[in-house]
Structure 1
Amino acid sequence: MKIVLATSNKGKIEEFKKLMPNDDVCAFETLIGKIDIEETGTTFKENAVIKAKAVYDKIADEKVVVISDDSGISVPLFNNEPGVYSARYAGKDATDCANNEKLISKLNAHNVTTTKAFYTACIAMVYKNEVYTVHGWMYGRVIDKCIGSKGFGYDPMFIPDGFEQTLGELDSEVKKALSHRSRALKLAKKVLDVIL
């Protein structure tokens, strides 16, 4: 099955390829070039659907499945920030480092070294012009420093429930088993098994 990912995030593309080793997975840019998709939604689901539909409409091929995910980290202490703004928390085109620094400064401003947090992933699938969505979550806590160089995004400052190490330190197979995206993708595969 040809799976087209509605993302240009290299970390997400690699993660999807590892999670879907038996499918022909490619980034949308390899088929239609770079397009700018404005994420105007206020929820992960809205943004995932916006991205998937935009790419599907450009490709205009009913034989492909376009998959998009919108995901991020939420910290209940900060009214669930950064939430849907996780990738641009420190501003448009912010680096992972800048986003992490902003979250660390927020922890410092509240005089806490760690607090509860959770990751959310919404996966949207568009096939034959129908839209399907699923969600996955991973719970844990954020800390006020970055530890480890594995993963991307907020991984070096997130410790999943039941662990003492950050996602930036954990082996990729361990992370794959617990990740919000893995959990959402397992549900997405069930949907794909029904619709394909």
Structure 2
Amino acid sequence: MRIIIASNNKHKVEEIKDMMAPLGFEVLSMKDAGIVMEVDEDQDSFRGNALKKATELFESLSLHDRKDTYVLSDDSGLSVDILHGAPGVYSARYSGEGATDAKNNEKLLKELSGVMWDERTARFICAMAFIGEEKEIIVQGETPGIITFELKGEGGFGYDPMFYSLELNKTFGESAPEEKNAISHRGKALALLVRELSLEEGE
């Protein structure tokens, strides 16, 4: 059995490969599988975008290739409580056209100007969709935190330097990759998926 990851992110593929290998899956990136396609992420939820990406990629496969093949996709981002869940599904493009990590961070800090520490609560969210011919599993992982008043640390990417993890007691930007991955939203979602598949294997 093989899993095609709806991503060419090497780190993400390796992380998923490490967790899926014991279940007997061969894990491939889109590049490994010879797939080149873009999916318009136009849904209003992380789950919706993850499901759309997985479904469209699976349906692009030939009937022959669909046999013993599964597609795994994810969609993730930052949800700030006082902003009613923003930036949410627009996390990567929060500052508009030509958005960069720096511009997104600058906009978020501006939006939270004057907001007290205990009202700056937020969550990183990751939804994963696992699709096969007769299988559809959707899971979601979350990690809680608080948006800091300034950037701290140079690690990670995106909003990491301003996301103070309540589990690590420091920002993701100040955390080592292995520390972040152990409690990250993506790691939690992947663990839930592996648990679901393991339970099915044991039935």
Please confirm whether the aligned pair reaches a TM-score higher than 0.5, indicating the same fold.
yes
1:138 match: 143
How many Å apart are 1:106 and its aligned residue? 1.2
Alignment of structure 1 residues 13-92 onto 2, 5 Å = 13-21=10-18, 22=21, 24-60=26-62, 61-92=66-97
**Distance 1:2-1:146 versus aligned 2 partners, 3 A rule:** farther
1:184 aligns with 2:189: yes
Preserved contact between residue 113 and residue 144 of structure 1 (Cα < 8 Å): no
List per-residue Cα deviations over 1:20-66 (Å, max 9, x = no partner): 32354332144244312111211111110000111111233222221
Q: Is the 8 A contact 1:32 1:58 kept in 2?
A: no
**SS class of match (1:151):** coil
- Mean alpha-carbon deviation: is it higher for 177-186 or for 57-66? 57-66
| In 1: Cα distance, 2:158 partner to 2:177 partner | 14
> Which runs of 5 or more structure 1 residues have no equivalent in the other structure?
none
Question: How many angstroms apart in 2 are the aligned matches of 1:121 and 1:35?
Answer: 22
Aligned mates of 2:35, 2:183 — CA distance in 1: 33
Q: How far apart, CA to CA, are the structure 2 residues paired with 1:124 and 1:184?
A: 10
In structure 2, which of residues 151, 157, 172 is the aligned counterpart of residue 167 of structure 1? 172
The answer as to whether partners of 1:75 and 1:116 remain within 8 angstroms in 2 is yes
Residue 173 of structure 2 aligns to a residue whose secondary structure is coil
The code of the aligned residue for 2:115 comes to V
Unpaired runs of 5+ residues, structure 2, are none
Q: How many residues are matched?
A: 191
- Find the aligned partners of 1:27 and 1:103 in 2 and give their Cα distance: 32
Aligned amino acid, residue 59 of structure 2: D
Q: For the pair shown, which has the larger CA radius of gyration, 1 or 2?
A: 2
CA RMSD of aligned residues (A): 2.1
Relative to structure 1, is the Cα distance of residues 163 and 186 closer, same or farther in structure 2, using a 3 angstrom cutoff?
closer
Match of 1:124 in 2: 129
For structure 1, which segment, 45-54 or 157-166, has the greater mean C-alpha deviation from structure 2 after superposition? 157-166
In the alignment, structure 1 residue 106 sits paired with structure 2 residue 106: no
Query: Contact conserved, 1:140 with 1:161, CA < 8 A, in 2?
Result: yes
TM value normalised by structure 1: 0.86
Matched letter for residue 43 of structure 2: G
**Shift of residue 92 of structure 1?**
4.6
Give me the TM-score of the superposition, normalised by structure 2.
0.84
> Percent same amino acid among aligned pairs?
34
Structure 1 residue aligned with 2:2: 2
Partner Cα distance (2:16, 2:176) in 1 = 15
Quick one: which amino acid aligns to residue 12 of structure 2?
Answer: E
**SS in structure 1 of the partner of residue 139 of structure 2:** strand
Letter in 2 for 1:51: K
